[in-house]
Amino acid sequence: MGLAFADGPLAEPLKVIRYEKTGVVAEQIKRIIEEKGIEKVVVGISEGEMGKESENFSKSFSEMLEIPVETSDETLSTQEAQLLSREAGIHQKRRHEMEDAYAATIMLQNYLDGR
């Protein structure tokens, strides 16, 4: 799961969390929210089965937090992140490690730009 962060009008990649159980990742995200003083969470929703899982995650996560949780379309953000990171000359290993965070950054930036 890729995480991005914005403290103002520009999004930046934060980190990638590898997980098997959603409860574990939810606790890690909750800890990051508390540490950084985050006021809103935006969950990217894609198409198909993953989109349904993301939607369910955002609903359950919303109940767990005391801050607003919104959703935003993340369709094609991974492909755009791959293209932009190649154009930027980011080494392939680093691109692979951070791909989800780069995609989250694009999704969050699109969300911010649309507001």
Contact 94, 82 (CB under 8 A): no
pLDDT at 4 over 90: yes
The CATH-assigned architecture of domain 2-113 is 2-Layer Sandwich (3.30)
Q: How far apart are CA 46 and CA 103, in angstroms?
A: 12
pTM, full prediction: 0.84
In tens, the pLDDT along 58-80 reads: 777 777 777 888 888 888 888 88
Tens of pLDDT, residue by residue over 81-106, are: 888 888 888 888 887 788 999 999 99
Nearest of 28, 71, 63, 12 to residue 46 by alpha carbon: 71
Element (H, E) at 37: none
* Domain positions in the chain: 2-113
Cα(19)–Cα(82) distance, integer angstroms: 22
